[in-house]
Amino acid sequence: MGTIFEKIVAREIPADIIYEDAKHLAFLDIAPLEKGHTLIIPKKAYLTVMEMPETDFCELMVVVHKLAKHFEKTLHCGINILNNSGEIAGQEVPHVHIHLVPRREEKSIYNKKAHVNYLPNEMEIYKNKLKL
């Protein structure tokens, strides 16, 4: 079977590919948040970034960095670099992908003002829980 992105890697379905190397592919998102919205994927079908060995994740980030610099130079834009890991986090395609969204205007793709409030002392609890 395989995911839709595995089919793109295998050239079984078309995509507008803008970058490829032995381990990665980058192509335009079919439903862009902004023009030029791109998805960068490892060719190996990991489900989430947490599943990836550190070396593979770092290699993916090197490609993200390369393309982000290229976008900035080419489109004169700012960039949102996003990843949704897990269904609860909004991941729709079960194959790791990093969103590169060129930003040329103030329109926010997510609501920065939508925050939650900690109960008294709860921030301290989270700090201790998440300390590594």
CA 31 to chain centre: 14
Of 26, 45, 52, 25, the closest CA to residue 37 belongs to: 26
Three-state DSSP class for residue 85: coil
**Residue whose CB is less far from ligand 5GP, 86 or 124:** 86
Give bridge partners of residue 14 from the DSSP assignment.
Answer: none
Q: Is 18 in the site for ligand 5GP (CB under 6 A)?
A: no
Q: Is 14 in the site for ligand 5GP (CB under 6 A)?
A: no
Site for ligand 5GP in 92-121 (CB under 6 A): 92-93
Three-state DSSP class for residue 115: coil
Q: Which stretch binds ligand 5GP (CB under 6 A): 23-31, 48-56, 72-80, 109-117?
A: 23-31
Q: Which of 9, 24, 25, 27 binds ligand 5GP (CB under 6 A)?
A: 27
Q: Is 4 in the site for ligand 5GP (CB under 6 A)?
A: yes
What is the DSSP track for 1-54?
---HHHHHHTTSS---EEEE-SSEEEEE-SS-SSTT-EEEEESS--SSGGGS-H
Q: Which stretch binds ligand 5GP (CB under 6 A): 41-49, 72-80, 89-97, 116-124?
A: 89-97
Three-state DSSP class for residue 82: strand
Q: How far is the CB of 21 from ligand 5GP (least distance, A)?
A: 18
2: amino acid identity, one letter: G
Q: How far is the CB of 69 from ligand 5GP (least distance, A)?
A: 22
Binding site for ligand 5GP (CB under 6 A): 4, 15, 27-31, 39, 84, 90-93
